[in-house]
A and B are shown apart, each in its own frame.
Chain A
Amino acid sequence: MTTKHKMSFFLLDDDFTFNFIHRKKIEKFGIDQEIVEFTSPTKAILYFMDANEDQIPDILLLDINMPELNGFEFLDALMAKRTDLCDKLNVFIVTSSLNPEDYQTAKGYDCIKGFHNKPIDLDNIMTTSSWLLNQKTKVKIK
């Protein structure tokens, strides 16, 4: 079993400024990390299609309103092609949308672990995700 030393992040937002901001914030957090970023959902899907176990990120920060595919459509398309990702992904929605419908839709996805309005509070996401990752390793040890 490969033990990951680095925490890996995957950023998907059509606005590269946010990817940049999120990258900077993660870097400021001062942990050992690895960041992949995409502005195109279709390209992101292609990335995941070929991704091996090591290339699957610990945390996926996902925007909702994007051209081509919105965040949910992206998840649907991805899961249809790689059903195994359902259990492996920890998705955090990061959006500037205040539409309560989006929140309701997000509740329907098991892989979505958090719903955050921009600007994000990274502390919050880190707390949740490190707890989740701990849970996972515990299960794996068993």
Chain B
Amino acid sequence: MKPVRDHINYEVEYKALLKKHEAVIDRSQKFTKIQQSLITANNIIDKKLEVYKRINYYIKKTVESKHLNEFKSYIPEALIDCFGVEGALVVFHNPNRRASYCEGLCHNTDADEIYEHLSELLLHHSSRAPVYLDREQLSTYRSLDNFESILCRKFESTYENYNFYLFGFISKKHGVNYLKLNDEELLVFDNFAEQMHAILRHRLIRQNLEVEKEKYRSIIANMNLGLLEVNTNEEILLANQTFCDMVGYDEKELLGKVASNLFLGGAEKEKMLAQNHTRLSKKASVFEVGLKHKNGTDLTWMISGAPNYDLDGNVIGSIGIHLDITPQKLVEQNLSNTNKNLKKINSELDTLIYRVSHDLRTPLLSIISLIDLIKLNTDVDIGVQNKEFLELIQGSTTRLDNSIKEILNYSRNARLDLQLSAVNLPVMVQTICDDLKYVNNAIAFDLNFNGIEIITVDKMRLETVLKNLIGNAVKYQKEIASEPKVHFTISEKQSAYCIVISDNGIGMSETGTKKMFDMFYRGTSASKGTGLGLFIVKEMIDKLKGDINVVSEIDEGTTFKITIPKH
């Protein structure tokens, strides 16, 4: 019984051992597989590392490259080297011009042949994501027969409005493994291309910036204004050629010096100090300053100053644009001096005229008064003829006095500016009429004010004008007049007053009305006037910026129409 049991035991043990052995073999096989896959993975990592190393190399090359053309030429090379494609191409395509051109063709591809077909491809695949065209899709394009697949990536470039495309070609001769780049590889390709593009764009922007900078540098150098840049301590950082010419220093002499100490005197320094404070509070301003040229000449400048900021917005100094206004300033000074002198002369003339008129009138007035006294003296009879002589003397003397008064009026009108004040017009006109009643008591005044009362006007001038015109209307009446009348009407328009003064007096001929405003013109030999009255009226209306018209007919009367602007 025992051996049988042993036999059974051996068999069982053998089977268990066998199972164990199998498991060991199985495990070892698994290990081998793992080892193999590890090796493969290692290889892949090595390969990828190699790719990244290469990519890194090309990116470095791009950053260092000095010309855009250089960059264009090695991009296809980089594609071939890094991604194992057999041929590569960069195509610049201008959608506006519907035109493209190839750049940097690499081996195994015949650019000219496939270029036509590519432009068609570009239209179909304009997305920014990398596009992968397989053999079937490529079969439409006959000249691409040699290729198994194509990679395509589009970039929008600011460079002359071109979009640029990267193409990688993989030929049929390759094994199946290399037909396609996997997703990961596509991503690397995309990143690479994106980086290239970014660098390219950066370079373009930098180039444009250089151009702009050069443009402004040239403007600053050639402009006719002095430009000075200083820091917050007012030390000179930059001065353009014009500035140097304006002060007579070289740029070398200026750099690092404190501007105020170099050019400004005491009071002007204070002024500049205040301006610097303004600048620190981030404000720009325009001001005048007096300074000295290197050779000691006094100058006056107009300065437009503005704060200068760093990238964080802190004030780091200021920039000033300087214009030499010395000649203008001199002219201004002369003008102001001349003006002062003129004012003095004018005021002296004023005094002289009043003084002379006073001294001329005083004896005349005493003559007139003395004749009055003789006429009042009823104790002694001087006879009819003598009385007539006295009347004539009095008439002539009065006329001489009137002449003096009118010349005074004329010179006052010529020299004085408008002096506006509120005037009660009805009162003014009524007073004038009342004063005239002694000339001709029979006259009837018809005054229409149309509700107008207070007007703003130059009182002296309007009064003189009205006195003259109403006075004439009263004086020049027919010797045997029936119902002598003077009409006065004032009406209001939007921007002016309209005054009409008419009479039914002796009137005037057409030649008379033409000449009536001339200096010293007298319309009638019977006239007791000076020939200045209407001339002064016209001059004053001109000063009032108004207008005067006359209509007259002999033996019918005269009508004056005046327009004066409202104020």
Contact = CB atoms under 8 A, between A and B. Distances in A.
Contacts of B369: 18, 21, 25, 118-119
A98 B354 contact: yes
A99 B350 CA distance: 9
A87 to B, nearest CB: 31
Contacts of A15: 362, 366
B366 A21 contact: yes
A53 B405 CA distance: 41
The 10 closest A-B pairs by CB, nearest first: A99-B354, A118-B365, A21-B369, A17-B366, A119-B369, A96-B361, A97-B358, A96-B362, A24-B373, A119-B365
Contacts of A28: 373, 376
B244 interface: no
B372 interface: yes
A97 B354 contact: yes
8 contacts: A21-B366, A21-B369, A28-B373, A96-B361, A96-B365, A100-B460, A118-B365, A119-B372
Interface in B129-152: none
Given A96-B365, A119-B368, A65 B358 contact: yes
Interface in A86-109: 95-100
Contacts of A96: 358, 361-362, 365
A24 B355 CA distance: 27
Interface in A1-58: 15, 17-18, 21, 24-25, 28
Contacts of A98: 354, 357-358, 361, 405, 408
A99 B351 CA distance: 9
B370 interface: yes
A98 B354 CA distance: 7
A24 B408 CA distance: 30
Contacts of A119: 365, 368-369, 372
A18 B373 CA distance: 12
Identify the interface centre among B369, B405, B408: most chain A CB within 10 Å of its CB: B369
A17 B373 CA distance: 12
A100 B421 CA distance: 15
Range of interface residues on chain A?
Answer: 10 to 19
Contacts of B362: 15, 96, 118
B413 to A, nearest CB: 13
What's the dominant secondary structure at chain B's contact region?
helix
Given A97-B358, A98-B361, A118-B369, 18 more contacts: A15-B362, A17-B370, A18-B366, A21-B370, A24-B373, A25-B369, A28-B373, A28-B376, A65-B358, A95-B358, A96-B361, A96-B362, A96-B365, A98-B405, A98-B408, A99-B358, A118-B362, A118-B365
Contacts of A99: 354, 358
Interface in B324-366: 354-355, 357-358, 361-362, 365-366
A71 to B, nearest CB: 12
A98 B362 CA distance: 11
A80 B372 CA distance: 38
Contacts of A97: 354, 358
Identify the interface centre among B354, B376, B408: most chain A CB within 10 Å of its CB: B354
A113 to B, nearest CB: 20
Interface string B48-89: 000000000000000000000000000000000000000000
A64 to B, nearest CB: 9
Nearest to B404: A98
Interface string B220-250: 0000000000000000000000000000000
A15 B369 CA distance: 13
Contact of B373 (A25, A65, A95): A25
A99 B373 CA distance: 27
Contacts of A65: 355, 358
A17 to B, nearest CB: 4
Identify the interface centre among A18, A65, A98, A100: most chain B CB within 10 Å of its CB: A98
A100 B362 CA distance: 17
Nearest to B353: A99
Contacts of B366: 15, 17-18, 21
Contacts of B361: 96, 98, 118
B15 to A, nearest CB: 146
A117 B370 CA distance: 16
A30 to B, nearest CB: 11
A21 B373 contact: yes
Contacts of B357: 98
A118 B362 CA distance: 8
B356 to A, nearest CB: 11
A123 B370 CA distance: 17
Contacts of B376: 28
A69 to B, nearest CB: 16
Identify the interface centre among B354, B355, B365: most chain A CB within 10 Å of its CB: B365
Interface string B384-417: 0000000000000000000001001000000000
Contacts of B373: 21, 24-25, 28
Nearest to B364: A96
A56 to B, nearest CB: 27
A118 to B, nearest CB: 4
Contacts of A95: 358
Contacts of B355: 65
Contacts of A17: 366, 370
A99 B358 CA distance: 9
A17 B370 CA distance: 9
